[in-house]
Structure 1
């Protein structure tokens, strides 16, 4: 069993407790396969033989993921856990205190001194402020992420190691990512590339673990589309709290991709902001502690991740106010990958030109 003591998982099965105080888990227990409610650890079995299983899909001929929150046995998949839907905090101060306590406790209990994936935003800065491991940022020269990481590291009185990407790096890494994740669509590949290349350097420097800020955007309202519910066409939810639950439901697929990518590069991810206690606290936040109108550095008149920003009062104000770009854009990987595709003859007028380019690299 990865991620938790089997006794804890067995009790969670007996009580149907979805958040039993772990960082997630996956594996075999009493003859069945189980995966936690957020799918924080990947788990697969053969499509036609569930007794053959692995945490690495490349070990199997026809890997079929175990759905998050399910138990897979001889009779198929059974949902065991569903995310709770608690009432929101009635008092804002109590809510902020709860977020602060959950975040600090979860980060501070991380063992050792893992390297830290550092983009200079609030999520990775929380890790950098409380963990001792070296900071790493990746991107092309003059990318937003590299600039933001350097300025945030200076504000935290930390040094940051820059992993500068090249076109050769992208082309070399794509087949490895596709093989490890089983995904070749442009979005997944472009998100995975910065993670893989940074993790590769981290592993080369002798580190076995990489602390990441995954989950904070989904839990605390970091996406612009969350604030536009119910008008946002990409969301089914009619409220901000409902949109948060919808975003959390997307985590299992994202985490499977990210964990497999990082493992393929040679490191094991550590994601303290996805601990059960953080998830449980985030689910109780009212809408105005997720997204709120107000002045921001980029001038869009909207503050996202309100509760997390207020709770992280141990960070400099300039970091707490920052918004960040998605990793594929902040690192300039998406821009440069599109450029490579066009240089290889896959023009934008072609259908899915970047996808065709990826296929050519894999072939």
Structure 2
């Protein structure tokens, strides 16, 4: 069992509690395969394994490359003698009564879970935004940022590191590094989609450097944008066609539901690079606090992640807590430069999904993942 003590998982299974105070879990309880409600740990089953019934040890794995025909095991599901079924879903929690209470609860959850992290063997993926800066302010671990020279993330990370009086290691991205890393990421994650690879590239190359420098764990700020209203499409709900919800809070729930797919990609990429991810902002306590935020606590006017930013003022200077940042694939320029490489290789923008076609051309063989969750 990865991520939590088996007894805690059994208790959550008995009670039906989806957020039992862990950072996620996945694995075998002896006769029951389980994966937590947010899919914070990857889990796969052999596609031709007999069903229903318990699986043999050789028919499931946390690493899809261990299996002949891996299928993703769905978040919030169990598999036992009765078959595979959903047992956990995110709770529908009532909003906080007022902003002061909300900020205090978010601060307690975020600071508490970060402070619980053991710094031994730890480095921090640092982009200069509020999420990673909270980690940097409260953990004694070195900071790393990846990006092309003069990229937004490198400049923002340098400014934030200076403000926090911290040293920073810059992992300078190059075209050669991207071309080498793409097939490695395809093999590790089973993804060839351009966006998935663009997102994973700076994280993977940061993790490689971290591992080479002797660290085996990497603290990341994953989950904050989804939980606290960091996306433009959430802030613009219900007027943004990318979400179906008619409220900001409803749009938050929509993007939180995408976490299992995203986290699978990120965890597999980081493990392939030689480090284990540490994501304190995805702990159940933080998730529970975020799910109690109403529209105005998530987005206040032009300010996204309002409650998290207010909570962060206890640890960070205002210039960092309130700073906007770009998504990693854009802030690092990984997306722009992968597009450039695709066009240089003859995959022009007029072609359908030209960057994905380029990624597929670099992969030595098609990924073995099936494009659906196991049921």
Tell me the TM-score range normalised by the shorter chain.
over 0.9
Structure 1 residue 353, shift from structure 2 partner: 1.4
Contact 1:146–1:162 (CA under 8 A) maintained in structure 2: yes
TM-score calculated relative to the size of structure 1: 0.96
Worse-superposed segment, 256-265 or 106-115:
106-115
- What runs of 5+ residues in structure 1 fail to find an aligned partner? 294-301
Residue of structure 2 equivalent to 1:222: 230
* Mapped pair 1:71 → 2:86: no
Q: Indicate the RMSD between aligned Cα atoms, in angstroms.
A: 0.9
Alpha-carbon separation, structure 1, partners of 2:81 and 2:323: 49
Residue of structure 2 equivalent to 1:296: none
Contact 1:23–1:272 (CA under 8 A) maintained in structure 2: yes
Contact 1:66–1:72 (CA under 8 A) maintained in structure 2: no
Equivalenced residue count is: 355
* Mapped pair 1:142 → 2:141: no
Worse-superposed segment, 66-75 or 245-254:
66-75
Alpha-carbon separation, structure 1, partners of 2:342 and 2:89: 42
* Mapped pair 1:348 → 2:349: yes
Residue of structure 1 equivalent to 2:373: none
Alpha-carbon separation, structure 1, partners of 2:151 and 2:80: 47
Alpha-carbon separation, structure 1, partners of 2:11 and 2:360: 45
* Mapped pair 1:183 → 2:191: yes
Deviations 1:53-91 (A, max 9, x none): 100000000111110000023543211111001110012
- How do 1:1-363 residues align onto structure 2 when only pairs under 5 Å count? 1-49=1-49, 50-51=55-56, 52-113=59-120, 114-293=122-301, 302-313=302-313, 314-363=315-364
TM-score calculated relative to the size of structure 2: 0.93
SS of residue paired to 1:119: coil
- What runs of 5+ residues in structure 2 fail to find an aligned partner? 50-54, 365-375
- After superposing on structure 2, the runs of 4+ consecutive aligned residues of structure 1 that deviate more than 4 Å are none
Alpha-carbon separation, structure 2, partners of 1:265 and 1:127: 21
Contact 1:210–1:268 (CA under 8 A) maintained in structure 2: yes
Alpha-carbon separation, structure 1, partners of 2:223 and 2:354: 30
Alpha-carbon separation, structure 2, partners of 1:172 and 1:75: 45
Alpha-carbon separation, structure 2, partners of 1:73 and 1:278: 30
Alpha-carbon separation, structure 2, partners of 1:327 and 1:264: 19
Deviations 1:260-301 (A, max 9, x none): 0000000000000000000000000111010011xxxxxxxx
Alpha-carbon separation, structure 1, partners of 2:353 and 2:99: 46
Structure 1 residue 230, shift from structure 2 partner: 1.4
Structure number with greater CO (CA < 8 Å, separation at least 6) is 2
SS of residue paired to 2:201: helix
Deviations 1:6-62 (A, max 9, x none): 000000000000000000000001312100000000001101214311000000001
